[in-house]
């Protein structure tokens, strides 16, 4: 090989190596922490995991997160573990790409992109629950809309959109929101709503705080059960009028602290 050509080849290889080397550290680098979160928020996040188990919203699967109080670009969620087993030591910090700040060998939920992409799309959201709440599943697969039929679920009055992962991905999947693109598509379906159903999978519930998102998760499940019972009776179902829903939600919102304190005390007593 002529010396000049050989030199060019080597130079080319070296340039490529430098480029690769320069690209890899930034990719591998963990995002910076927003600092230690308020211990009271971590306590509430641990409690939220257990309450959702107690109320039949999550089982061995499902997760709940809270936006980091010190940075809108970070959120807090347990490592990959069954919700009932979550303790403060399991809470990890993520950036909105759902990359852990300090994994220390701890595994992450496959569907964490649900959380990162909704926090990115919805600045008003400070807490998110993803669940496989059993009573909502039929409403995600039949085209029968989930609608509020009593005052406790008045927050559903604006409509409950249904996310179909087959349309979002353009093909067959394992039904899991396992990357950022699917997370973005789910956030798009959710829009400004408090709840979206996920066809053949479960639901995502969002809110301005952990007590509100837990309340909404519990009463979405209860409303779905009651609505299926009402539909099974066969008569015409009278749902809340939008004005009734508006008034009921305004009243109930002020009382959410009551069930939250009860649920939290029971969850912490175990
Ligand atoms: Zn899931």
3-state SS class at 155 = helix
Q: From CA 88, how far away is CA 81, in angstroms rounded? A: 12
Phi, psi of 142 (to 5 degrees): -110, -15
Burial 231-254, CB ≥16 within 10 A → b, else e: eeeeeeeebbeeeebeebbeebee
Location of structure tokens 């959710």: 190
**Tens digit of each residue's pLDDT (9 = 90 or more) over 223-257:** 999 999 999 999 999 999 999 999 999 999 999 99
Centre of ligand 1 to C-alpha 102, Å, is 24
The structure tokens listed for 182 are 């699917």
pLDDT for the residue numbered 139:
98
Centre of ligand 1 to C-alpha 24, Å, is 31
Radius of gyration over alpha carbons of the chain, in Å?
22
Centre of ligand 1 to C-alpha 201, Å, is 6
pLDDT for the residue numbered 28:
62
Positions marked active-site: 111
Least Cα distance to 263 among 232, 208, 218 occurs for 218
Residues of the chain with pLDDT under 70: 1-28
| 77 strand-pairing partners | 65, 92
Centre of ligand 1 to C-alpha 179, Å, is 13
Q: What separation in angstroms does the CA of 254 have from each of 97, 250, 259? A: 34, 7, 11
């Amino acid at each position: 090989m002529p010396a000049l050509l050989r030199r060019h080849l080597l130079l080319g290889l070296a340039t490529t190596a430098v480029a690769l080397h320069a690209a890899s550290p930034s990719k591998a680098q963990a995002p910076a922490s927003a600092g230690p979160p308020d211990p009271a928020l971590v306590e509430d996040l641990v409690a939220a995991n257990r309450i959702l188990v107690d109320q039949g919203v999550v089982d061995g699967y499902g997760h709940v997160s809270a936006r980091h109080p010190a940075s809108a670009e970070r959120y807090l969620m347990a490592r990959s573990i069954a919700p009932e087993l979550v303790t403060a030591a399991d809470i990890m910090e993520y950036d909105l790409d759902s990359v852990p700040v300090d994994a220390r060998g701890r595994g992450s939920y496959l569907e964490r992109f649900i959380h990162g992409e909704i926090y990115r799309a919805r600045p008003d959201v400070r807490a998110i629950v993803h669940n496989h709440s059993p009573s909502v599943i039929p409403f995600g697969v039949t085209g029968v809309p989930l609608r509020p039929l009593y005052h406790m679920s008045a927050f559903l009055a604006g409509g409950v959109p249904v996310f179909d992962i087959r349309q979002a991905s353009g093909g067959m999947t394992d039904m899991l929101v396992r990357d950022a693109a699917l997370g973005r598509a789910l956030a798009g379906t959710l829009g400004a709503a408090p709840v979206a159903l996920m066809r053949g999978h479960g639901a995502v519930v969002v809110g301005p705080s952990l007590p509100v998102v837990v309340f909404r998760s519990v009463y979405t499940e209860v409303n779905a059960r009651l609505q299926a019972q009402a539909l099974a009776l066969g008569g015409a179902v009278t749902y809340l009028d939008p004005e009734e829903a508006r008034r009921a939600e305004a009243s109930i919102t002020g009382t959410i602290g009551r069930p939250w304190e009860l649920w939290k005390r029971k969850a912490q007593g175990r």
